[in-house]
A and B are shown apart, each in its own frame.
Chain A
Amino acid sequence: QKEVEQDPGPLSVPEGAIVSLNCTYSNSAFQYFMWYRQYSRKGPELLMYTYSSGNKEDGRFTAQVDKSSKYISLFIRDSQPSDSATYLCAMSAGGNNRLAFGKGNQVVVIP
């Protein structure tokens, strides 16, 4: 079983819809969770960063962490064509532990 599982998609949604992305993980020591956005032929950029369980909101983006289920989610409200990208989840147990990445989920927002 891989440490981090993420459905690669692609996920196509109409403009204005809510995009829902998720990752599951197996390592119960993970406590720092990140979402990166990667446009085609570009490097990933940090979108959201959360610690432990709970929700975090930033504009149209909401990150949720459910440590009891080992499940994290990213929601994008009022999706725009500019949200079309690959979204990668990443997580760490902290300290000197490395980041574990999901494979990335491609999202296409159709105008």
Chain B
Amino acid sequence: DGGITQSPKYLFRKEGQNVTLSCEQNLNHDAMYWYRQDPGQGLRLIYYSQIVNDFQKGDIAEGYSVSREKKESFPLTVTSAQKNPTAFYLCASSMGYSYNSPLHFGNGTRLTVT
């Protein structure tokens, strides 16, 4: 079955630690995205990548970093500089980066930082 796998489902970290969230897709999609979802806030774009070895900041990139060394993988690192990291993180992919390429989402990672 093709899809997007995010791991782990739940992640707990102490404040001040960096943490990396995994996202792997086997849909052969070119574009990948990271969103953050908070109650009452909707989805907010953190980073996106249109092709391998290239990525762009989204609306709330501060305190986050990404890499795109392989087409299938787009890991997100939440650094200690992110002031409010506790959230539900969603990875998505699309065939291309344009309007007619609907997003396919993974099932998310819930990060709790204490």
Contact = CB atoms under 8 A, between A and B. Distances in A.
Interface of A: 4, 6, 8, 31-32, 34, 36, 41-46, 49, 88, 92-99, 101-104
Interface of B: 4, 6, 40-43, 45, 58, 90, 92, 97-100, 102-108, 110
Nearest to A93: B99
Chain A contact residues: helix, strand, loop or mixed: loop
A44 B90 contact: yes
Given A94-B99, A96-B98, A43 B106 contact: yes
Contacts, number: 51
Nearest to A97: B99
B105 A101 contact: no
A42 B41 CA distance: 17
7 contacts: A4-B42, A34-B102, A41-B108, A92-B99, A94-B99, A95-B98, A98-B45
B107 A43 contact: yes
Contact of A104 (B42, B102, B110): B42
B41 A103 contact: yes
A46 B4 CA distance: 14
A102 B45 contact: no
Question: Looking at B40, B42, B98, B103, which has the most chain A CB atoms within 10 Å of its CB?
Answer: B42
Nearest to B6: A43
A43 B43 contact: no
Given A32-B99, A32-B100, A95-B98, A43 B45 contact: no
Contacts of B58: 98
